Amino acid sequence: MDKAKPVVPVLSRILAQLQRGDIQIPSAPAVVTELRLLTQRADSKLDSIVALLERDQALVARVLQLGRSVEYARSASKISDLPSIINRVGFRTVANVVETVWANRCFQIPDEQYRPVGARLSRQSLARALALRTLAERQRLDSFSAYLAGLFADVGASFLLWAIVNKSRGRPPALEDALAFTREHHETIGSAVLKRWGHSDLVIGLVRRHHSTVQPAQNAAFWNVFTVASQVARELTQEDDLTVATPWPPPELLQRCEEGLGLGPEQRAQLVAKLHEEYAAALDALIQD
């Protein structure tokens, strides 16, 4: 019988530090949390949203770029000022943009060995978020929460890799070992990060079990959407999910979830084609951020 591979000591130490709370999860910036609250209020005013965004000119640039992107630039009215673009795309879409920029900035990994993995996780998260939002809209589910769940599903992986690089006291362990460690713990750590950031129980619950093959008793439709969106993200990025050892989702699970949503491979292919330009434009904006 093969012996289990021993855990690299530095990884055991980092996990213990995380469990004790010695490695602090950074707080979400005020502009993110305040905008999230504003978008949930029926009486929020455009002026309040504009004033909040103008605290961070990088966010302003990103929202302006969204307004000029493929999806929204087809309008006959070629508007380019911030208030008009926010009116066009809607408060919640703007909030999604801000959350995306924050997610991309939060756990930057400086190590040359690990940096490409961080970039790949960002691509994967963006593609899955766009797919989740679109599928949720079609199923008449909360598309705002769906986008956030897709965007932050792998935040635990990003945080763990960031912690490994920054807390290794020298050269971090081999990437293969770090990925194996991350695959084992990223769902639990990710749900803790999102709880710290004040996300809803729905988003936290989806992230905590997003690689489960057992349909939950609650939020089954969201879970089906999440699973299908993971496949759409694979097809959009042409990359497998790094946070599992084998391609995700498995074919049998994907078929079951598509049937649960009344979809099939043809409809999934149409969705990939629909999202291709939007994903490319959003990815380009993130790279420039």
- Are the C-beta atoms of residues 167 and 176 closer than 8 Å to each other? no
**Band of residue 69 on the pLDDT scale cut at 50, 70, 90:** low
Reported as a pLDDT band with limits 50, 70 and 90, residue 289 is low
CATH 2.30.30.40 assigned to domain 123-289? The reply is no
Of 71-85, 199-213, 222-236, 275-289, the least confident: 71-85
Domain positions in the chain are: 27-106, 123-289
The residue with greater pLDDT, 1 or 84, is 84
pLDDT band at 222 (very low <50, low <70, confident <90, very high): very high
70, 256 Cβ separation under 8 angstroms: no
Contacts by 61-65 with C-beta closer than 8 Å and gap 24+?
Answer: 61/289, 62/97, 62/98, 62/101, 62/285, 62/289, 63/89, 63/94, 63/97, 63/98, 65/281, 65/285, 65/288
For 284, how many CA atoms within 13 A lie in the half-sphere containing its CB? 11
pLDDT in tens, 72-88: 544 545 667 888 888 88
Q: Give the whole-angstrom CA distance, residue 61 versus residue 82.
A: 9
User: Which of the four pLDDT bands, split at 50, 70 and 90, describes residue 1?
Assistant: very low
Whether the pLDDT of residue 4 is over 60: the answer is no
Average pLDDT over residues 23-34: 88
What one-letter code names the amino acid at 66?
L
Q: Which residue reads 């469990």 in tokens?
A: 19
